[in-house]
Amino acid sequence: KKTNSRNGPDRDYMVSQAAVWPEVERAELLARGAALKWASGVFCRPEHLERLSQYRKRESLRTSSIHTRLKSMVQSYLEGVGWGLEQLREARTELRDVSQTLKKAGLEADANTEGVRSLERLRELSVSRQQLLAAVSNLPRLYAVQSLVLETERLVESRRLLEAHARLMDLEHWQDDILWQLHGADGAAGSALSADEQELVAKYFSGVQQLVDALGQEMWAVVSSALALARQNPTPFVSAVRIVEREEALDRALLAQRADVGGSSRPLPPGRPRCWRARFFQVLEEAVSARFRSVSYLHTRGPGLAGHLSALQHAVMADLATVRHLLEHCVPPHYQLTAAYLKATHHCLHTHLAQVSSWDLESGEIFAVLNWVLHVYNSPDMMGHPELVTEAERAELGPLISSEGLEQLQSKYVQSVRKSVSEWMHKALQVELQDWQRDQEPDTDHEGFYLTSLPTIITQMLEENARVALMIGESLRDQTIQMGLYEIENLLNRFREALVEFGKEHRKDPSNNKFYLHYLLASISNCVILKKSTESLQLQQSSQSAGQFSRTPPNPLAALDRAVRRACRLVMDQLLLDLQPFLPGLLTRPWLAQGDPTPKLCSILEHHLELHGRVRPPCRQRLQEEAQWLMAVEYVRALMQKRFVCRSGEDRKQLAQQMLQDNQLLRETFRGLANPLALLPVLADFIRLKDPGMLTLEVSGLASKYPDISEEHVSVLLDIRGDVSRDVRAAVMDLLEQSAPPLPVGYRPIFIDILVPASTMVFCLPTARCA
């Protein structure tokens, strides 16, 4: 209660302030709430009231401190506001004084306007006087212009370039001075020259621009013939370079002067800047281009292209030597003349070779271009020369032919070679077909094997093309080999078709070509040689080339295998044709009595096997195996025809013995290599078996060795024995039906090729007509 009465006035003040500022009331409420919260926390127990006086003293000190700081801050703000108000009063006073002064100045200016107008006439007279003074001072120069122009023309015609340029600089200096004087050195005229004034000056100096053009023509003619002048008299070239440097210095000075005076006060003289240094390098490049254009392209076509490129190499290197050793010393170092000449030469060569590449070139010409671009141009004999490497790097020369251009050239080369290879292969095949009609045996090599010229021609041609392509690069070598493999595959397909036609013609008239078999064997040997050559070419290809070709990869080995199989089939057909007259006599009663015709068959086989020895391995072994297989199949086929049916045990014994004798003769003929003929002893044992009850076991063993044997084959064998009852036959057939084992992997069927003749049933009824 005491506290409330003491703080009453403050509270009334705060209430009045809250009425003006609502934020004050809100702050008061927040402060009281915070104080109550703090007091409730501190004095939560009665014993805590003992420290009330301490808290009251501490809060009184804090409150007085805050009041002191607030007062000092408000005082400083008030002082600042007072100082600002004082400054505003002073500024208002000064502005009032300035306004009065400006008003007085305006009144005085209005009073002096009439006086200024009277001075305009004086200014015009002053400008006119300056122009007249300039004209009078330049009269001697104006009268001397024509004579100086004529003198300069004579100096230019006599190629005294430095003196002519000095006179020309004088004339240009006079012209510039006159134009500047007429324009006004301080810009007093306030405008540019009139058209009449410009025409007047141009009339007096009409010959100056012609002199500039004439001097430029002479200079550029000297620069164009710099290579020739360097070997005779480089003085004109040095003079041209000095003039170029003078002009460059003048251009820089005039541009700098124009920039210093504001860019628009003093215009540049007519024809400036001339940029003769850039023109110097442009003329140099045009001179290099002209040397290439002077070459006649007529003698570069065909075989002369390689010679043209060689001459081009020597000419370029001779020019570079002249530039490096003579002209480089006639120009400032910053010209980097050798690098510039290198760049110009490289650009011209690029254009020239692009034109050459667009021609319809043959393979030899394309090879010459590729070899020159990829190997000669960057070799130490040309751009890779130790003295030119630094300059070439400085010139930043790009590729002479782009990668796309190189790919196109290589593609054109492969297509051209392919056309040539295809024509040669066609001719070689025609020669081969003509050789087949010769009335003599084929040629033999040092090992005694038959051969013709076909594989030698093909192998040498493809290997030579691969070797030549490798001189360019592995990529071209791989493409050439790939192309050769395609062509080999096409050749072998045509070769196989030719073999088929050869066989048809021989079947029509066997007596027409008595060396038919010999040339078939020579063809097989040729295929063996071609296979080795093809494998050698495939090994030469790099491993990365397999996926570079979008077409289906060639498969010449498969085509070779097809051709060899066709030739072997024709050889076996001829063997069968020679054996055919004697095969009907096998397994007959006369054969059993006399042993014929097995010796005659062996004689024919020996003759064929001897010829087969003229074939290169492994096809020689293949032919011998096929001959054995053929003989075994024909022998069993003759047995299956039931030409001989046993009537007794003695017949079965004799038949089995004769079959064993034939087997022995055939083994001797084939020199022990008679695996397919191992079937004959098995069949002989089956026939001479004494106990028919054991036939079931015998047939089981036969079926296990030869799982392709059918019920029909076994039925015929039972018929040949002639002593098999119905029960035994039924048991044997049931056994075959139940077993029927699958053919093992790698087993070559033999009975599948042997057809069993249809059985003829005896009609048991009488043939008389029915009643």
Residues with Cβ within 8 Å of residue 435, at least 6 apart in sequence: 442, 452, 453, 519
Residues with Cβ within 8 Å of residue 750, at least 6 apart in sequence: 629, 632, 633, 636, 676, 679, 706, 708
> How many CB atoms are closer than 10 A to CB 47?
7
Please classify residue 353 by burial: count the beta carbons closer than 10 Å to its beta carbon, then call 0-12 exposed, 13-18 middle and 19+ buried. buried
**CA 402 from centre of chain:** 10
Contacts 24+ apart (CB under 8 A), 599-605: 599/665, 601/631, 602/665, 602/666, 602/668, 602/669, 604/575, 604/578, 604/579, 605/575, 605/579, 605/631, 605/666, 605/669, 605/670
Element (H, E) at 652: helix 649-669
User: Consecutive 10-residue runs of the chain (771 residues): their mean pLDDT?
Assistant: 43 52 80 83 75 82 89 90 90 91 85 73 76 67 66 79 80 70 50 58 67 84 87 87 88 76 58 85 88 61 79 87 89 89 89 86 89 89 82 77 90 93 94 91 91 92 93 91 93 94 91 90 94 91 59 85 95 94 90 84 94 92 92 93 90 92 90 77 92 88 89 91 89 85 84 77 44 36
Closest CA to 604 of 514, 661, 523, 669: 669
pTM, two decimals, is: 0.68
Instruction: Characterize 314-326 residue by residue with b for buried, 16 or more Cβ atoms within 10 angstroms of its Cβ, and e for exposed.
Output: eebeebbebbbeb
Residues with Cβ within 8 Å of residue 651, at least 6 apart in sequence: 644, 722
State the Cα–Cα distance between residues 643 and 651, nearest whole angstrom. Answer: 13
Q: What is the pLDDT of residue 602?
A: 93
Residue 565 structure tokens: 């199989």
CA dihedral (722, 727, 728, 729) positive or negative: positive
Q: What is the pLDDT of residue 188?
A: 43
Contacts 24+ apart (CB under 8 A), 212-221: 212/168, 212/271, 212/274, 214/153, 214/156, 215/156, 215/161, 215/164, 215/165, 215/168, 215/243, 216/276, 216/279, 218/156, 218/159, 218/161, 219/161, 219/243, 219/244, 219/276, 220/279, 220/283
Tokens 């009439």 locate to 114
Q: What is the pLDDT of residue 144?
A: 61
- Grouping H, G, I as helix, E, B as strand and the rest as coil, residue 388 is coil
Residue 755 structure tokens: 């057809």
**CA 108 from centre of chain:** 88
Q: E-strand spans in 363-486? A: 443-444, 450-451
State the Cα–Cα distance between residues 207 and 200, nearest whole angstrom. Answer: 13
Q: What is the pLDDT of residue 267?
A: 66
State the Cα–Cα distance between residues 217 and 223, nearest whole angstrom. Answer: 10
Alpha helix segments (H runs only) across 671-747: 679-688, 695-705, 711-721, 726-739
Q: What is the pLDDT of residue 761?
A: 46
Q: Which whole-number Å values give the CA distances from 481 to 362, 427, 494, 547, in the listed order? A: 18, 20, 20, 14
State the Cα–Cα distance between residues 165 and 169, nearest whole angstrom. Answer: 6
Tokens 């710099």 locate to 226
Write the single-letter amino acid at 54: Q
Alpha helix segments (H runs only) across 472-614: 474-508, 516-540, 556-579, 589-594, 598-612
Question: Cβ(732)–Cβ(699) under 8 Å?
Answer: yes
State the Cα–Cα distance between residues 260 and 448, nearest whole angstrom. Answer: 101
Q: What is the pLDDT of residue 746?
A: 82
State the Cα–Cα distance between residues 199 and 205, nearest whole angstrom. Answer: 10
Write the single-letter amino acid at 507: R
Closest CA to 277 of 215, 328, 220: 220
Residue 559 structure tokens: 């085509």
Most distant CA atoms of the chain, gap in Å: 174
3-state helix, strand, coil in the chain (%, to 5): 75, 0, 20
